[in-house]
Amino acid sequence: MCENLQLIFAVFRMGVYSLFRRLCCGGPPPARPTFNVLCLGLGGSGKSSLLAKVSGESTDAIEPTVGFSIKALMFDSCFVDVKELGGGDNVRPYWNRYYGGSQGVIFVVDSSADSSTMDKCLAAFDEALSHPELDGLPLLVLANFQDKPRARREDEVVNLLNLGNLTRPWAIQGCMLQDKDSIVKGFDTYNKMLLAQGRNTGDFDKI
């Protein structure tokens, strides 16, 4: 029931946006492709807060995601429906049940985490990205908590996750909750990758 309500709310938000565009702009919004994207990361990496910030929702009293939640993000070039999966130890073994139908992956990293947590992050990252259903999909890594002491720079996270060895399209963006622009910048880059992938695979005919 909870998952059905999340789907209903996501569709409702899209409908309200379309109605707003019709009333304010005198016509239907221009056709834009929609991409279904997974958002992964360990518990406490800030996935829910970052997505809420991008969508303009309150980031107060964010609860840890149990199971999954869906967030409909609206950009000038496309819509991105993000399925965020909980990152707790008791949830990660079931991530692969939700991989089907994905067109991209977002992986959120706590860039200030200690070494043991980063080792766990790398193991979860490698296991997820090696799954056949996620093979070759565009990847965005959000190196969160750049405002915290000892936060790793983007290049350090690149090395830790061995991003340079990937054969898929990927991008990394350092970000923090207090700086929405840093998060949006990552999505701007990522959306271009999704659009390019869509053209190459023929998921849509024209942008």
If asked whether residues 1 and 100 sit together in one domain, one would say: no
Number of domains in the chain: 2
* pLDDT for residue 4 is more than 60: no
If asked whether residues 42 and 109 sit together in one domain, one would say: yes
pLDDT in the model for residue 53: 93
Residue 71 domain-assigned (yes or no): yes
Q: Predicted confidence band at 26 (pLDDT cuts at 50, 70, 90)?
A: low
Residue 207 domain-assigned (yes or no): no
Name residues whose C-beta falls within 8 Å of residue 103's C-beta, 6 or more positions apart in sequence: 35, 36, 37, 137, 138, 194, 197, 198, 203
Residue 192 domain-assigned (yes or no): yes
Residue 101 domain-assigned (yes or no): yes
Structural domain that includes position 2: 1-31
- Give the burial class of 30: count Cβ atoms within 10 A of its Cβ; 0-12 exposed, 13-18 middle, 19 or more buried: exposed
If asked whether residues 6 and 84 sit together in one domain, one would say: no
If asked whether residues 27 and 38 sit together in one domain, one would say: no
pTM for this entry: 0.83
pLDDT in the model for residue 27: 55
Do residues 107 and 125 lie in contact, with contact meaning Cβ atoms separated by under 8 Å? yes
Domain harbouring 67, CATH code: 3.40.50.300
Residue 118 domain-assigned (yes or no): yes
Query: Which tens digit of pLDDT belongs to each residue from 76-110?
Result: 999 999 999 999 999 999 999 999 999 999 999 99
Query: Which tens digit of pLDDT belongs to each residue from 139-196?
Result: 999 999 999 999 999 999 999 999 999 999 999 999 999 999 999 999 999 999 999 9
Average pLDDT, the chain: 86
